Amino acid sequence: MLRLDAAPARAFLDEADALDRLRPRVEAAHRAVLDGSGQGGDMLGWRRLLRAPNDALLEDLETTAARIREDADVLLCIGIGGSYLGAKAVIDALTPYFRAPSRRAGNDLFGEAARNAPEILFAGHHMSGAYLRELLAYLDGQSVYVNVISKSGTTLEPALAFRFVRRWLEERFEDANRRIVVTTDPEQGALNALRAEKGYKKYEIPPDVGGRFSVLTPVGLLPIAAAGIDVRSLFYGAVAAFERLAAPEDNAALEYAALRYALHQQGYGTEVLAVFEPRLAGIGGWWQQLFGESEGKEHRGLFPATLQYSTDLHSLGQYLQQGRRTLIETFLMAEHDGGDLRVPATEADLDGLNYLAGQTLRHVNRQAYEGTAHAHAEGGVPVMTLWMDRIAPGPLGELLYFFEHAVAVSAYLLGLNPFDQPGVEDYKRAMFNRLGRP
């Protein structure tokens, strides 16, 4: 179960009873999420799908994923924003760092399904011609399946990538149409028209689920399942969090949202999500979109930034320690991270590290976290830590829902609609004007 240690951050509140006085507003925002009475209440499908799990859909996704694992060397996922960040975050967290020369001789720590999984690659999340050219060259000679993910089918980046990839696939595979899966709107959009012509396998994006909340729909679940990850455990981990976080008492998501809001009101402008385990860095990317698009409106909201320690302590550690005191820091940690290698002793001890001999790298990392958190708090940074039991599908599902619930409450505290993103359209209009779009 997730555990939030917020005591070091609470010490930075201007008034000791600030959270107590804020509690009625926090509980009102919480009720608005539960009953759909707040702004954007029609976009709470990410909660409704957990209230009534669709086991038949999960089974269908597992069946399609098993076929892809059997036939494919590579699954190429085409999408941008919420259409890929959630899947990539979970896949990065729950699959091996390095692929074995033969995918059937992988790491036993991740199970048979992961060992037999295809490589999961992504496209359509930017417009680099060099990337796309090299990607298609890399795919040549491999068995490739494609999952294109877009509600409208006309979002520029994935639509462009799919044009190139579809032509490439059709030139190389007689069964190209069987190798393409579309995840799109139930009825509308360009991909539905193309699917009617080509007969692609289709999964629906629920109309009441926005992109950044869609990781537990087919948007995220199909690529995650194709990677050999247990999507039922992931999904039902989120269900457990959904049920546990319904009550306002002892609710870590509400405490997190309240503390962020109180510090925001005191003038803090940035929240750093810091991880010590590199496989959790992708969660930071997903979290950035979730909080950036949900809160960054009307000149409000904390700017979400993510750092991977101890790597970034050697580049931004100086700023965290002594830069402008306008940021807060949330550590995302796992009690058990699999880092059980022990430091060997050497006879000469030239590097001076024999004092660590026999210690696990997990222990070393834990001390690095404790020292960093202490030093940053002493340096004037409000620090809190969100603890997971372990990095596994169930706890990851809990974590995803925790952040989704917290950001909805947090945005309501700011007086914002958590589920729209009107500013995104501004750059699109300017871009399309320059491109000469009719």
Catalytic residue positions, numbered? 293, 314, 428
Token pair in block for residue 158? 């994935």
How far is 430 from 427, CA to CA, in rounded Å? Answer: 5
How far is 283 from 262, CA to CA, in rounded Å? Answer: 24
How far is 402 from 47, CA to CA, in rounded Å? Answer: 11
Closest CA to 234 of 79, 86, 60, 435: 86
In the block, residue with structure tokens 């491109």: 435
**Cα separation values, 184 from 58, 149, 187, 228, 342, Å:** 17, 6, 8, 23, 48
How far is 161 from 126, CA to CA, in rounded Å? Answer: 9
Percent helix, percent strand, percent coil in the chain, to nearest 5: 55, 15, 35
> Where are the extended beta strands (E) located within 157-200?
180-184
How far is 144 from 121, CA to CA, in rounded Å? Answer: 10
Is residue 329 within 8 A of residue 271, CB to CB? The reply is: yes
Q: Give how far the C-alpha of residue 16 lies from the chain's centroid of Cα atoms, to the nearest Å.
A: 34
DSSP structure class, residue 220: H
DSSP structure class, residue 118: P
Number of C-beta neighbours around residue 14 at 10 A: 10
